[in-house]
A and B are shown apart, each in its own frame.
Chain A
Amino acid sequence: MLAVLLLLSLLVYLVYNLLPIDKAADMAMQEIAANKNLIYAERYLYWQRRYGLDGGLLVRYLRWLGLAPFYDGSFQGLLQGNLGSSIAYGKPVAEVIVEPLKNTLFLNLLSTALSLSITLPLGAFCAIKRGSKRDTAVQVATIVGYSMPAFIIAILFIWLFAIQLNLFPVSGTSSVGKDYVGFRAFLDKLWHFGLPLLVTTFVSLGGMTRYVRAAMIEALHLDCIRTARAKGLHERLIVRTHAWRNALLPIVTLIVGWLTSIFSGSIMIENVFGINGIGKVYFEALTTNDNEIALAMQMFYIFLALAGNLLADFTYGLVDPRVRVGGRQ
């Protein structure tokens, strides 16, 4: 697990080194432009040392991790909690991403809750009524839902809800020129997040419903269900206690893994709706060559994905006593 993280960090660092961006050279050039008396090579070396960009690739990588010292002997890497600093914002990365992170979390957690409250009952219902007309209709609808890319759904929803029905604003996170406080501010935010929320939820509906349905069908074919039926238990009881509990196992793992993946998935939604979330920060960092922020975000995504995997494994063991994580034959 940790090895994978390390390997990936090396990979990502190497890939970022392919970008022809030299922060030290930029700074040195700026200084020379301001003061003609300075010698370029000297200033370049100074900034290289300042940013820890001198030395070989491996040394630089270790410095970035926080395992090798800078020129002045200090350690300022990831392990020390230093994510680097953004050129565009002129602030440490950690400070830059606080507000976007809040927005992204707000959007994604809310949409997860919303979509779960729809998909869990719907999927279970479809599994029970499997093969019926209603099930078929839902199946067709969900295929359409998960086949359409998020941005097309977003455009359709903007057209329908923001332009034709005029219910929501087209983009942004708060009303311009209005300083709401307290509850009004929250309502305003909710109003602005309404459309992205709808789209994010809608996008996830298809896949989730199908997954829940599959898990429930699987569970309904277990031997214990047959036994329960043979014993003459009420069908509702069978579904609610025997089947549902068993179906929940794969669903819980899915939800945990999915929670982490929506962070990278929200890049699209945040860009379409102009929401100041981490996806947008990453997008802008990439397009404006704000290298360190992009690097930090990339590591953040990888870390999230790995943590998600780990968490999924743990929850699996937690909810299902039959599974013992790490018990390899």
Chain B
Amino acid sequence: MIRWFKRAFTGKKNLPELEAGEEIESPSRLLRQAFFSKKTALFALVLLLGVLAFVFIAPAFIPMDVNYTDPLQQNVAPNYSMRSVPRGLKRSVATIDGFSGFSVGLSKAGEAFVWGDSEDRLNKQDMKVIPEEVKQEGAAQIAAGKDHILALTKSGKLVGWGDKSCGQYGFTPVLNAVTMPEILQEGIAPESVRSIVCGYQASALVKTDGEAYLWGNENAVKNLRELSHLTGVEQIAFTNSTAIALLGSGEITTGSDSVFTSVATVDGTLNIPLNAYLVERKAVFIAATNKCVAVLTEAGELIVSGVFENGENELPQLKDGERFVALDSGTRHFVGVTNFGNAYGWGHNAYGQCELKADGKTARVFAGALQSYAVDEQGNLTQGVGLKGYIMGTDGRGRDVFARIVHGGKMTMTIGAVAVLLSSLIAILVGCVSGYFGGWIDVLLMRITEIFSSIPFLPFAMLLSQIIKYYNITETTRIFIIMLILGALSWTGLARMIRAQVLAEREKEYTHAARAIGVRESAIAFRHVLPNIVSVILVSMTLDFAGCLLTESSLSYLGFGVQQPQPTWGNMLNGCNNSTVIQNYWWQWLFPALFLSLATICINVVGDALRDALDPKSNAHK
């Protein structure tokens, strides 16, 4: 193979010395000249090489967990502002909170700020549009849920905005929801409110006298109705599916529903329920991620309980005498501040949200969904780490579209390339043998070619792909079989073309010469004739490559190719086949479509220019 390439492209050097002034114009040189004189083709080639380099190099730098999903980051629009704390807030932070794509902040003067992906495209709402009463009066407390924000104004009114279809706020009863208690309707003095908390479509209010109210979607938060009205409460926290109450007695209750069955301390993980561990200890502070709760005890001990999927149980090592005084939690990570003024983060760290510096100046820490912030004594924001945003947004399962495009591109390109190599291999074999040897073997091979070319491609590929679904094979094997299917069904056109070329070459003088000096027939076919038609084959392979990319993506788009969650450019568009996505979440279809189209267009332009350059007629008539 390498020798063919050498001969095809650098053939001139192997030729005997030529007399000075007599330039020989080898076909490959002409080809190069004709190709490089076309600016569009050159541009397309550069672009194509860029795309290829991008999809094969970038995956090494952009790690992706194929199975990762995040329901709180669904359909986030492309933006890079998720960590951009507004200027007005940076100098006087009172609180920062975040649960999904957007974060809220409250300045010490009571001004409310919202940043990040704050637009709810389905309900045509923008979280950034802060209600007038909150703007004018200023807020005393603020909290952010998955799709709603709750603020307590300075005059004691509880104002919500965002989605309220699941009873997140508002006094009108909603199906399957615990309605906001009537008592809150006439207002509540801000001094008597200890905290307001928002979770996944649920909210809570804790008064200084220990009375707590919880309301919201009871399908989302399982024990919501049970805990809807409590007394003697210090603090409320929400995981994704549970409400947790910290009582003044130092106990923690989740109602009849006991979800925390293992406990992690600095010394390691124990398989005992949280409440059993807390029997001799008094809890004073809690914070909850999606699936875990972190507890501070009176003795200064830190405990984490729940499902540890992201290293939530790998607690930070503190110095002697250092102990946590406050905690906050994001979706999958915790942050805490110690009595030495050091901030620590632990848990999920894919976006660097745990990399807070222990600088000894931190007074308070806050966590957005995937961000962490540290604030000093005066309320100045000193540190902000974590996710800035997604350049290409996220899809319907909260996965980063950009990462999927990068990894999907690698998959798409690999499948296309392998399929093309395979089909070319078959085509070269069939074409050469059939064209050079002729006779009965030609007839037989051409019949087989006819059979294969009569098979309607898409329906048959769908059928084969459906069949391999039934056999218990790994995804890698499946992808490999799909490459085989694509390759085995698409060689016929090239085989016919090669046969025709070989037929023409067979009668040329050099073949006769080779035969005359006694070269074996098979050697003539594959080592003399084939190198002479390799440029034709290469051009055809280029165009076939684009064809294979298209067929792979079409199959994947229909759901018969590579399966989710493994991304390819085709199956990334699979979920976009409805007007909701097309209308509201344009980034989910535009970017994969753009990349796929760009790749195929470039390949076709290059292939086309090559073919034109190869065709002597097109040169002669220009």
Closest residue on chain B to residue A1 by CB atoms? B450
Which residues, 40 to 80 on B, are CB-close (under 8 Å) to A?
Answer: 40
B558 touching A267 by the CB < 8 A rule? yes
B554 touching A150 by the CB < 8 A rule? yes
The residues of A that contact B16 with a CB separation of less than 8 Å are none
Tell me, yes or no, whether A272 is within 8 Å of chain B by CB.
Answer: yes
B463 touching A163 by the CB < 8 A rule? no
Would you give the 0/1 interface string for A129-156, flagging 1 where the beta carbon is closer than 8 Å to chain B?
0110000000010011011111110011
B450 touching A152 by the CB < 8 A rule? no
Contact of B582 among A147, A163, A267, A306 (CB under 8 A): A163
Tell me, yes or no, whether B99 is within 8 Å of chain A by CB.
Answer: no
Q: How long is the Cα–Cα vector from A267 to B456 in the complex, in angstroms?
A: 12
B463 touching A151 by the CB < 8 A rule? no
Q: How long is the Cα–Cα vector from A20 to B467 in the complex, in angstroms?
A: 8
Q: How long is the Cα–Cα vector from A264 to B554 in the complex, in angstroms?
A: 13
Size of the B side of the interface (Cβ < 8 Å), in residues, is 46
Q: How long is the Cα–Cα vector from A11 to B577 in the complex, in angstroms?
A: 33
Contact of B467 among A15, A144, A148, A171 (CB under 8 A): A15
Known contacts A15-B464, A149-B553; is A305 also within 8 Å of B454 by CB?
Answer: yes
Rounded to whole Å, the gap between the CB of A78 and the closest CB of chain B is: 17
The residues of A that contact B558 with a CB separation of less than 8 Å are 267-268, 271, 283
Rounded to whole Å, the gap between the CB of A135 and the closest CB of chain B is: 12
B579 touching A163 by the CB < 8 A rule? yes
Complex interface: stretch among A90-98, A242-250, A296-304: A296-304
Complex interface: stretch among B7-15, B333-341, B597-605: B597-605
Tell me, yes or no, whether B608 is within 8 Å of chain A by CB.
Answer: yes
Tell me, yes or no, whether A294 is within 8 Å of chain B by CB.
Answer: yes
Q: How long is the Cα–Cα vector from A294 to B209 in the complex, in angstroms?
A: 70
Q: How long is the Cα–Cα vector from A61 to B570 in the complex, in angstroms?
A: 36
Tell me, yes or no, whether B307 is within 8 Å of chain A by CB.
Answer: no
A151 touching B451 by the CB < 8 A rule? no
Closest residue on chain A to residue B607 by CB atoms? A143
A309 touching B454 by the CB < 8 A rule? yes
Known contacts A149-B554, A163-B583; is A155 also within 8 Å of B589 by CB?
Answer: yes
A268 touching B554 by the CB < 8 A rule? yes
Contact of B463 among A7, A149, A294, A309 (CB under 8 A): A294
Which residues, 160 to 200 on A, are CB-close (under 8 Å) to B?
Answer: 162-163, 170-171
Rounded to whole Å, the gap between the CB of A205 and the closest CB of chain B is: 15
B605 touching A143 by the CB < 8 A rule? yes
The residues of A that contact B589 with a CB separation of less than 8 Å are 155
Rounded to whole Å, the gap between the CB of B510 and the closest CB of chain A is: 25
Tell me, yes or no, whether A19 is within 8 Å of chain B by CB.
Answer: yes
The residues of B that contact A44 with a CB separation of less than 8 Å are none
Which residues, 208 to 222 on B, are CB-close (under 8 Å) to A?
Answer: none
From A143, A147, A170, A302, residue with most partner B Cβ within 10 Å? A147
Rounded to whole Å, the gap between the CB of B188 and the closest CB of chain A is: 45
Would you give the 0/1 interface string for B549-588, flagging 1 where the beta carbon is closer than 8 Å to chain A?
0100110011110000000001001001101001100100
B554 touching A151 by the CB < 8 A rule? yes
Contact of A152 among B459, B560, B596 (CB under 8 A): B596
Rounded to whole Å, the gap between the CB of B474 and the closest CB of chain A is: 19
Rounded to whole Å, the gap between the CB of A309 and the closest CB of chain B is: 7
Rounded to whole Å, the gap between the CB of A198 and the closest CB of chain B is: 16
Q: How long is the Cα–Cα vector from A159 to B582 in the complex, in angstroms?
A: 6
A146 touching B457 by the CB < 8 A rule? no
Tell me, yes or no, whether B508 is within 8 Å of chain A by CB.
Answer: no
Tell me, yes or no, whether A41 is within 8 Å of chain B by CB.
Answer: no
Tell me, yes or no, whether B440 is within 8 Å of chain A by CB.
Answer: no
Rounded to whole Å, the gap between the CB of B347 and the closest CB of chain A is: 38
Tell me, yes or no, whether B270 is within 8 Å of chain A by CB.
Answer: no
A155 touching B457 by the CB < 8 A rule? no
Would you give the 0/1 interface string for A225-267, flagging 1 where the beta carbon is closer than 8 Å to chain B?
0000000000000000000000000000000000001011101
Known contacts A155-B582, A170-B579, A297-B459; is A149 also within 8 Å of B596 by CB?
Answer: yes
Tell me, yes or no, whether B466 is within 8 Å of chain A by CB.
Answer: yes
Closest residue on chain B to residue A151 by CB atoms? B557
Known contacts A4-B450, A147-B597, A149-B596; is A298 also within 8 Å of B582 by CB?
Answer: no
Rounded to whole Å, the gap between the CB of A266 and the closest CB of chain B is: 10
B455 touching A8 by the CB < 8 A rule? yes
From B454, B576, B583, B589, residue with most partner A Cβ within 10 Å? B454
A147 touching B467 by the CB < 8 A rule? no
The residues of A that contact B605 with a CB separation of less than 8 Å are 143
Q: How long is the Cα–Cα vector from A8 to B448 in the complex, in angstroms?
A: 10
Q: How long is the Cα–Cα vector from A49 to B298 in the complex, in angstroms?
A: 78
Known contacts A155-B589, A268-B554; is A140 also within 8 Å of B40 by CB?
Answer: yes
The residues of A that contact B586 with a CB separation of less than 8 Å are 159
Closest residue on chain B to residue A220 by CB atoms? B621
Q: How long is the Cα–Cα vector from A271 to B466 in the complex, in angstroms?
A: 17
Tell me, yes or no, whether B447 is within 8 Å of chain A by CB.
Answer: yes
From B458, B459, B570, B600, residue with most partner A Cβ within 10 Å? B459
Tell me, yes or no, whether A286 is within 8 Å of chain B by CB.
Answer: yes
A302 touching B582 by the CB < 8 A rule? no
Tell me, yes or no, whether B5 is within 8 Å of chain A by CB.
Answer: no
Rounded to whole Å, the gap between the CB of A284 and the closest CB of chain B is: 12
A301 touching B593 by the CB < 8 A rule? no
Contact of A158 among B582, B596, B600, B604 (CB under 8 A): B582
The residues of A that contact B601 with a CB separation of less than 8 Å are 143-144, 147-148
Tell me, yes or no, whether A282 is within 8 Å of chain B by CB.
Answer: yes
B457 touching A264 by the CB < 8 A rule? yes
Tell me, yes or no, whether A36 is within 8 Å of chain B by CB.
Answer: no
From B464, B559, B579, residue with most partner A Cβ within 10 Å? B579
B454 touching A4 by the CB < 8 A rule? yes
B470 touching A298 by the CB < 8 A rule? no
A155 touching B554 by the CB < 8 A rule? no
Known contacts A267-B558, A282-B459, A301-B456; is A19 also within 8 Å of B451 by CB?
Answer: no
Which residues does B use to contact A, with CB under 8 Å? Answer: 40, 447, 450-451, 454-460, 462-464, 466-467, 470, 546, 550, 553-554, 557-560, 570, 573, 576-577, 579, 582-583, 586, 589, 593, 596-597, 600-601, 603-605, 608, 617, 621-622
Closest 7 CB pairs of A and B: A264-B456, A301-B456, A147-B600, A147-B601, A170-B579, A152-B593, A147-B604
Which residues does A use to contact B, with CB under 8 Å? Answer: 4, 7-8, 11, 15-16, 18-20, 130-131, 140, 143-144, 146-152, 155-156, 158-159, 162-163, 170-171, 221, 261, 263-265, 267-268, 271-272, 282-283, 286-287, 294, 297-298, 301-302, 304-306, 309
| 18 CB-based A-B contacts, threshold 8 Å | A8-B454, A11-B451, A15-B467, A143-B605, A143-B608, A147-B550, A151-B553, A152-B596, A156-B593, A163-B582, A170-B579, A171-B579, A263-B456, A264-B458, A272-B577, A297-B459, A301-B459, A302-B456
Known: A8-B454, A8-B455, A221-B617. 11 other contacts (CB 8 A): A8-B451, A15-B463, A19-B466, A147-B550, A148-B600, A149-B600, A151-B573, A156-B593, A158-B579, A267-B459, A268-B558
